[in-house]
Structure formats: C-alpha cells, structure tokens
Structure 1
Amino acid sequence: MPHEPLPPVAHHHPQRTPSAQPSPRTDFATLLKGRSVCVAGLGVSGPPVARALLARGARVVVVDGRDDDTTRPIAAELTAEGAEVVLGDTPLPEDCDLVVTSPGWRPDSPLLVRAAEAGVEVIGDVELAWRLKPADQVWLAITGTNGKTTTVRMLESVLRADGRDALAVGNVGTPIIDAVLPDADGGYHDILAVELSSFQLHWSSSLRPHAATVLNVAADHLDWHGGLDPYARAKGRVFARGTVRVVNTADAWSVRLAEEDGDPHTPLVGFRLDTPRAGELGVVEDLLVDRAFVADPGSSAEELATLADVRPAAPHNVANALAAAALARSVGVAPAAVKAGLAAFEPEPHRIAHVATVGGVDYVDDSKATNPHAAAASLNSYASVVWVAGGLLKGAEVDELVAEAAPRLRGAVLIGRDRARIREALGRHAPDVPVVEVEGPDGNAPGRPTVMDTVVAEAAALAEEGDTVLLAPAAASMDMFTNYPERGRFFAEAVHRLL
C-alpha cells in the first residue's frame, strides 16, 4: 500500500523584519527519508532535484519520455548516484509518495494525471526548495511576462552592494534547489533573489516570499495554461499570505493580482515612471525616488539613484530598476546601495543591447523580445526604427503591437515561419511602411548564420542616419535558430561584418 502523502510545510516568514526568529516547522527533509519520490523530467531542474532528494535518503525514480544522446549520459550519472532512471516512458512508480515535476510539464501530462487520480501530491522544484530551505533564509520573488531576469540580476547587485549574502536563482544560472542546501561548511545564502515562471508558480502551493512583484502580464504560454486568466492567476500566486506586494501601477494585471490574490494585511507598494505618490517608488526629473520605505511617506522622499545609473535607461528597464529597488528596500537596503548596485549591474546579452553604430545608424539586439509585449517595450524606446521581426508567434496576436509601433517605423525586415502574420498586420496598420521578407533555412540547416547578413543588409538599405535597426522579433526563435541567444549572436556578427 502507498504511504500517506507527505504533508506540506508551513513556514513563518516576516513581513518587515527578515532577521526575526523563525517559528518551529516540520522538518520536511526528515520526512523524505525512505519515501518514494518520482522526478518527472531530465531537463534543467530534474538532475539537481534528484540529487537533493537522494542526499536526504529518498528512493528516487526519474522518468523522461526521451531516450537520446542528451538524456542517456545524464541518466547514467544519476543511476551511478543511486537513482532509478526510466527513459522512453513516463510511468508512475509503485508506492509513489510524491512527484516533483519539471516546470514545463503540462498538468494534463499522463503521468501527472495518474498521480492526481492516485492522490499523490505533485509539486515543482521551487516548491521542493521552499520546503527544504533554511527557516531564516529570505526570498524576494519576481515574476511577470517580461523583465524577470533583468530585475532579478539588478536585485542581486543591489543586495550585494549593501553587503548582503545574496544570490540570484531560478532561470539565471543557479538552480533554486542548490541555493537552499548547505555548502561544504554548512552555510547558505541569507537572501535569494528568485525568478519565477508561471509554470513554477502553478506547481507551488506553500510558497511565502518575504516580498514579491508581478512586473507585468501579457498573453504568453496560453496553450499551456488554457487562457490569459489562468496564466495571470498563476503569476498571482506569488502574492501569498504575509508577502509584501510590489506592483507596477501601469499594469492592470499587476495591480489586480496584488489586490485580489494577495494578503490585504500586508503592505502594497507601487512603482511608476512618473512622480510617486505616498507608498510608491517613482521618477522625479532624472531621479529614482522612494516614498514607500521612508519614515513619513506622506511628506518625505528618499533619493535612490539617477536615470544615468540604469543601463539602458529605456522606460521598461527603468521600471525593472524601480521594482528591484522596492524589493531591496523591503529588507532595509540603504539608498546608497541601490544606487551603487544599479550602477554596477551589467545587462544580460541580447536584452536591448547596443551592438554598433554604422553610418550613423544604431544596431540594437533585443533577441530576448520573444513575445509582442517585450517587443513593444523595445520599439517604444526609439523614435525611428527599422524593425527586424518574426519567428514563432506561439498563437500571440500582433495587431495591437503593430498599430502602436506604426508611427515609429521606418521599415521592417521580416523573418521566420510566422512572418506573414506580421506582414498582414503591417498592411492593415502601417501600409506606407516598406517591408522586406527574408526567407531562411529551418532548424539546423546550413546557412543560418549568413541569413542574418541578408537581414542586416536589407535593414541597412532601409535605414537613414539617426535611425535604429532593432532586432525585437516578438516571436520565439526555434524555427530558424537553436534559441534566442544564437539568433542575437548571428545578428551581432552580421552587423560587425558591415564594419
């Protein structure tokens, strides 16, 4: 007979005083010993999750429907470490007590359906990490359709500038499960800046970060969640009981989720790109200012940084900086550290990155703009644009994006499988804008790097001095490229060949 399901763990988490003493909690790590846990998927999160479970004495079965040259070496390593690994099939193990799923597995995946029918709890890697974390470790959580990684990295930089032992985790290099486990000396990071996807939040039930923000919500991953409302509500799970709510006042969903899904007894802190009201952070002339975490929000403000400290100082990136500052201030970070941390922050590649100026034309790589909402933020940052766009739209609509961008467009160069949909939208909303389509090879076919030479040459022919040639595809890359970094790298290399 299967064991009783492993119980969730309730954590005490302070609202304003992360140094407060934690209350007693169930030792989830002890409960894992000898229990049967199924790890679903050998992707990024699967192997570290399996190792963490093995280290706590669990009987681990890892399953993955793939059986290829990528999964076999990983499977061999985990088998040598004591896990049972099943490739090419995804059975629910007998006497299974818990399933830890990779974030991308849909709820209707057969294994997860079988687990639900058998009364076996399904959680994700974030939920497992939360249950295993040291009780006094503080989490500051960031989600949203766009801007998560940049904001998490900014927050990490600001926290470290204040002397905090902080680490950015999630989709930023360090698996979250590794960040909650003690190192060789038994230590751990005091504060985590946690990037959370809608998938990860869907599989989290007891998550209680000290403070959290939903940066923005726009249509994305609707096929996985089944619509915009469930996608947004998954994001809203970050506003848990006891969590300080940091909201983007310009984003209706951010405010709505904080008000409807958050705890009304916790502070609600807004950030905006103009003069802040009491209880908000905002911008006054060229200053980032705080009217929330000050002694008298009604009559005083604290200067945090200048726009020159934010790179690039595009509007959406200033919003990211304000969100990071609000989260940092929620744990008492000094204003000077906000300024120092933002100034020291190095933007990630392929995020509105200036590549070169050729003949008076700026070339900018924002290959990370993989959906219309992200592309809109990039397009709004420049006055006159030759737009390089296209790829896999994943069901997203582009009419609103094109209609808003039309006054800024000098021309457009379209690539990728769904380029016709962007061309049609341009025909409806920007009929006078010249459009060039560039056909390119699919997948791993030869010629993928050099197709960008054609793209850049066509864009250069459309551009005039003072224009910006902007790669902001509004679409995923996998129809022509391995991923968005490769797409951006090929674009940058083609620009440099112009020189």
Structure 2
Amino acid sequence: MTASPDQPVTRRTAGLLDARGEWAGLRVVVAGLGTSGFAAADALAQRGARVLVLDARAGADEVEKARVLDVLDVRVRLGDDAATALAGRLPDVDGTAPDLVVTSPGWRPTSPLLVAATAAGVPVWGDVELAWRLQAPVGSPARAPWLAVTGTNGKTTTTRMLAAMLAAAGLRTAAVGNVGVPVLHAVVDPQPYDVLAVELSSYQLHWSASIAAQSAAVLNLAPDHLDWHGGMGAYAAAKGRIYEGVERACVYDVADPATQALVREADVVEGARAIGVTLGVPGVGMLGVVEDVLADRAFVDGRADSAAELGTLEDLLGASGGTGPAPHVVSDALAAAALARSHGVPPAAVRAALRGYRPDAHRIALVGEAGGVRWVDDSKATNPHAASASLTAYDPVVWVAGGLPKGADFDELVARHARRLRAVVLLGLDPSPLRGALARHAPEVPVLEVPATEDHPVGGAGGQQVGGQLEARQLGGRAVMDRAVALAGDAARPGDVVLLAPACASMDQFTDYGARGDAFAAAVRDRLARRG
C-alpha cells in the first residue's frame, strides 16, 4: 500500500490556504529532521502549532536541531525512540490524533507512517505544499510569484540561471526549493521577495497538490527514481503537477514530446501559453538558436516575423566550465530565459546573467589540461540521461563511468555514443550493467575496470604476509579515482577529453557525487603535476 498524493481536506485543514489561516493549535507530525523537516517544524511552531518531529537518525546534526527546536516547544523523537511511530502507528500529538503530517521529500509513499496517515484520513503535505499555504494572501505585495523548474536533469543549472536573470533585472529574488534557500524560509522572510526561482524535484511535486506557479518548465523527462515512484507513469505525473494552475507560461522542450504532452494535459489558467524551447531555429511562440544567437520569438511584439536577441553562444562559455557551450547548457539557458521573459525580464538582463553565470561544482567543470588532453568533471551526471547530455558535448572521449546503477538501463546510452568513445574506465562495486551494455553496443571500445577490492597481507612486521593469509579490502574514495585517472590518462590521446560522467549514483564507493568529483579533480591534478 502507498500513501496517496491526492490528500483529504479535513475540517481542521480546510481553511489553511495562506498565512491568515488558523495555524495556532494545529497538531502536526513532521516526518524527518533534515533541512526541510527542520524548516517545517520551525515555521509551524512560530505560528503556534503543536509539533512532533520523528527521525530514525540520531546523529550529531539531528541532536543539535532537536536542541534548537526544544526552545520553540517542539517535541522531537529520534532513533529508537521514534521506531514505533515510524513502523506505522500514527502517533498522538499532545495526547490527540494529529491534524496533519508534513513529510520530507525523500520519504517514500510506501513509508508505514505515511500509509498510516492516509488510512486514518489525515492529510500528508510536503514541505513545498506547506510553504505554498504559508504565503501571504493572494493580492498582497508580500506574496511573491513562483517561477518553477523541474525535469530529470538540468534543474539546478536552470534555476540558478533564472535567479541570476531576475536579479540582473533589479528584482529581489532567490533560488529556492530543491536548491539554495528552503522555500519555507523564503515565503516567511520578513523582507518580501519580488519573485522566486523555485526548483522542484519529483519527490516534492508528488506531495504537492495546491501549487500554482506563475510560469513553469519541465526541462526533460527520462526514467529516474522509478523505484521511489513505482513506475514511469507515476514519475511523469509527479513532474506534470508543476504545470497545474499556471498563469502565464508552460515551458517545454520541443525535442522531448513527453514534456509537451504534460503541457497538453495540464489544467491551467485561461490565457496561459505553451512556450517551446529548441536548439534549432525557433518557430512562433518559441525560444531557440539562429546561427549563434539565442533568439526569443515568444515574448516580443511582431513575433510572427521578428525575434529578440537574448545573447550568443559565446555568452555561455563561462556557464560551460570553459569547455564551450554544450547543447544541454544552451537548452537550460533558453528555458531559464523563457521563464524570465514571461515575468517581463528585458533581453539585456538575460544576456548579462548568462555572461556572468558559472556552474556549480562537478557540473561540466574543466579540472585540468595537458598534452592536448582535457579532463572534465561532470560527477553530477548521476543517471543515463544526464550522462548522455554530457557525452554529446565531446568527441572523442575517454569515459569514466559507473557506480551505483539504481536499476538503470544503459543500452540506449551506450548505443547512442559508442562512436565517440576512445575507451571506457569502469568504476563501482558492480560494473556488470555497464559492462554488458558496452559488450552489446560498443564491442570494439576498450573497457578498463578499476577493481573494487585488492588483497592485503594479514599481520606480520613491515606488512609481511603471515602464513600465506590475505584479506580483501574494498577500495573507495581517492584510491578508486587514482586508479581510474591512471587508466584514463594512459588511454587518452591528444585531442581527447577524459570525462567523468558516471551515469550512476556514487554511494557505493563515495559519500556523494561531490566527493567523487573532488577525488577525480585531486587525482587529475596530482597526475599532471607529476608529469610536469
């Protein structure tokens, strides 16, 4: 059984539509004490709600947050103390059944606590749904419109570009939601924002039913997080929620028909427009590329036969980590520009933002160059769709790939890019899924594997083997990447790019994708330093 995103409306929650609602005395269970859970508990307690927070973790970070919340009279149960409630029995709040459960984004719909809430008729909201309902009333100058972004890949880049464009136009804004500032903090800020650039994950959208953005974009749609959502249909439906109630513009990718289908299915405000983004010459109502110019034929007068220049491909060099504007970076920039233009941002502000934008760490970052070989870190490419976008930008490539596959299928990825591969270096505790795809679709490409373990002598002075005994130690972190960089460097030729675009999650051998990228960059620097 799973908890349903179509939440019941109870007598107690019916009037909780904005900050004027009767929040005082509301009994709330908050599931999870991460960044969003802490923000939810804080915001609710500040409005007089009675809050109980549950988290199976009891590390130093959770304990410190619990101390802070205790000052606000918020009860927190951690670790074993939270086990009973987390196992499925809906806990009381101050001796009474809760009126509401607020869940952190990563909690699955099958989590026993959330299933129990649904079975009991208790609404389950995500942190973003709560933020939407804690805003100032409609029509108030303190209520900032939302420009919302989702998609399988490119969300953070697009959202940060969008925030930069809004700021360049002189607006008080922030990148919030799944990136930057928690959206709850932004909507209750004493100094109101003019407009918010809101990144939303499929998890957050699953638990959101009331959000109605001024404009919204689904950048792309490819299989991801299917184990969480239960299938591609549910994943796509979650993404499509971002278009519901849109007032001005639904931005979609012309090259991805699935995103256009979500626009067609959405229930929007009368007058809202579908705005396409293309890497080709734009038609009427689209943004695209004419030669090297980013062109707007959607938000200009006389768009039937004219366009506004928003910048050039050269303006995106900084956004591409110094390696040239990869196609997915151009697409992200156009989507951000479409949202900004829908809000009235002038072309000059769009261009200024693109010229000044720099990507986050581990996103197509040039980390070294020597002997005609460039080394690029795209550790954030944690699924096949993201890796495909990265590979598209380079030819030929020594591809460093692998990790935790999350059940992904790599056949289409390898088949599409086989011709550009000089060699492949495989990481991960189980490289067999990628190895199999390479054998089927790129049998001529050399495949070099970093062993997941190595043998060490047991006991003995000075590391001498005792009694022929060996132990196998799992490799991880820097040891893995040192070997990967050595193999990749030996395979590369002048003119090649060694590209870390793993197409997999990192947690089998690294703390996260950031640690993986840091290890790659450090190993590259050491190799280049040794070779002068």
Which bracket does the TM-score occupy, shorter chain normalised?
over 0.9
Match in the other structure for 1:479: 508
Residues 47-126 of structure 1: pairs in structure 2 closer than 5 A: 47-88=38-79, 89=82, 90=85, 91-93=90-92, 94-126=96-128
Counterpart Cα distance in 2 of 1:268 and 1:278: 11
Q: 1:447 to 1:331 in 2, by over 3 A?
A: closer
Q: RMSD of the TM alignment (CA)? A: 1.8
Q: Deviation string for 1:195-247 (max 9, x for gaps)?
A: 00001001101100000000001110001111011101100000012332011
Q: Deviation string for 1:276-314 (max 9, x for gaps)?
A: 000000000000000000112211111010001112110
Counterpart Cα distance in 1 of 2:393 and 2:430: 24
How much has 1:104 moved relative to structure 2?
0.9
Counterpart Cα distance in 1 of 2:506 and 2:306: 47
Match in the other structure for 2:22: 31
How much has 1:338 moved relative to structure 2?
0.5
How much has 1:8 moved relative to structure 2?
6.1
> SS of the counterpart of 2:424?
strand
Counterpart Cα distance in 2 of 1:441 and 1:342: 44
The residue identity in structure 1 corresponding to 2:206 is H
Counterpart Cα distance in 1 of 2:384 and 2:246: 33
Match in the other structure for 2:465: none
User: Is the 8 Å Cα contact of residues 245 and 269 (structure 1) preserved in structure 2?
Assistant: yes
Counterpart Cα distance in 2 of 1:398 and 1:478: 19
Q: Name structure 1 gaps, 5 residues minimum.
A: 10-25
Counterpart Cα distance in 2 of 1:81 and 1:446: 45
Q: Deviation string for 1:347-394 (max 9, x for gaps)?
A: 111011111112110000000000000000001101100000000110
Match in the other structure for 2:382: 370
Q: Name structure 2 gaps, 5 residues minimum.
A: 1-9, 455-472
Mapped pair 1:414 → 2:426: yes
How much has 1:64 moved relative to structure 2?
1.3
Mapped pair 1:455 → 2:484: yes
Match in the other structure for 2:154: 147
> SS of the counterpart of 1:326?
helix
TM-score by length of 2: 0.87
Q: Which moved more, 1:141-150 or 1:157-166?
A: 157-166
Counterpart Cα distance in 1 of 2:315 and 2:514: 26
Q: Which moved more, 1:292-301 or 1:326-335?
A: 292-301
Match in the other structure for 1:12: none
Counterpart Cα distance in 2 of 1:57 and 1:141: 30
The residue identity in structure 1 corresponding to 2:287 is L
User: Is the 8 Å Cα contact of residues 236 and 262 (structure 1) preserved in structure 2?
Assistant: no
Match in the other structure for 1:494: 523
Q: 1:264 to 1:401 in 2, by over 3 A?
A: farther
Residues 294-305 of structure 1: pairs in structure 2 closer than 5 A: 294-305=300-311
User: Is the 8 Å Cα contact of residues 46 and 72 (structure 2) preserved in structure 1?
Assistant: no
Counterpart Cα distance in 2 of 1:424 and 1:372: 15
Counterpart Cα distance in 2 of 1:309 and 1:257: 31
How much has 1:128 moved relative to structure 2?
0.7
Counterpart Cα distance in 1 of 2:15 and 2:224: 30
How much has 1:441 moved relative to structure 2?
5.9
How much has 1:116 moved relative to structure 2?
0.9
Match in the other structure for 1:161: 168
Residues 393-432 of structure 1: pairs in structure 2 closer than 5 A: 393-432=405-444
Match in the other structure for 2:228: 224
Q: Which moved more, 1:103-112 or 1:321-330?
A: 103-112
Counterpart Cα distance in 2 of 1:276 and 1:108: 43
The residue identity in structure 2 corresponding to 1:419 is P
Mapped pair 1:4 → 2:6: no
Aligned length: 478
> SS of the counterpart of 1:292?
coil
Counterpart Cα distance in 2 of 1:430 and 1:315: 24
Q: Which moved more, 1:429-438 or 1:86-95?
A: 86-95
The residue identity in structure 2 corresponding to 1:484 is Y
Counterpart Cα distance in 1 of 2:475 and 2:223: 33
Match in the other structure for 1:15: none
Match in the other structure for 2:253: 248
Match in the other structure for 1:41: 32
Match in the other structure for 1:204: 208
User: Is the 8 Å Cα contact of residues 176 and 186 (structure 2) preserved in structure 1?
Assistant: yes
Q: Deviation string for 1:75-111 (max 9, x for gaps)?
A: 2222232101112323432321111100111112111
Sequence identity percentage: 54
TM-score by length of 1: 0.93
Q: 2:349 aligns with which of 337, 350, 364?
A: 337
Mapped pair 1:181 → 2:185: no
Match in the other structure for 2:340: 328
> SS of the counterpart of 1:45?
helix
How much has 1:336 moved relative to structure 2?
0.5
Mapped pair 1:359 → 2:364: no
Match in the other structure for 2:313: 307
How much has 1:446 moved relative to structure 2?
7.1
Q: Deviation string for 1:421-462 (max 9, x for gaps)?
A: 1111111111110011002469x9775213211110100111
Q: 1:309 to 1:70 in 2, by over 3 A?
A: same
User: Is the 8 Å Cα contact of residues 150 and 320 (structure 1) preserved in structure 2?
Assistant: yes
Q: 1:193 aligns with which of 171, 194, 197?
A: 197
User: Is the 8 Å Cα contact of residues 29 and 56 (structure 1) preserved in structure 2?
Assistant: no
Match in the other structure for 2:281: 275
User: Is the 8 Å Cα contact of residues 409 and 433 (structure 1) preserved in structure 2?
Assistant: yes
User: Is the 8 Å Cα contact of residues 441 and 448 (structure 1) preserved in structure 2?
Assistant: no
Q: 1:213 aligns with which of 199, 210, 217?
A: 217
User: Is the 8 Å Cα contact of residues 291 and 301 (structure 1) preserved in structure 2?
Assistant: yes
User: Is the 8 Å Cα contact of residues 358 and 498 (structure 1) preserved in structure 2?
Assistant: no
Give the structure with higher Rg (CA): 2
Mapped pair 1:466 → 2:468: no
User: Is the 8 Å Cα contact of residues 5 and 120 (structure 1) preserved in structure 2?
Assistant: no
User: Is the 8 Å Cα contact of residues 5 and 121 (structure 1) preserved in structure 2?
Assistant: no
Q: 1:8 to 1:113 in 2, by over 3 A?
A: farther
User: Is the 8 Å Cα contact of residues 245 and 262 (structure 1) preserved in structure 2?
Assistant: no
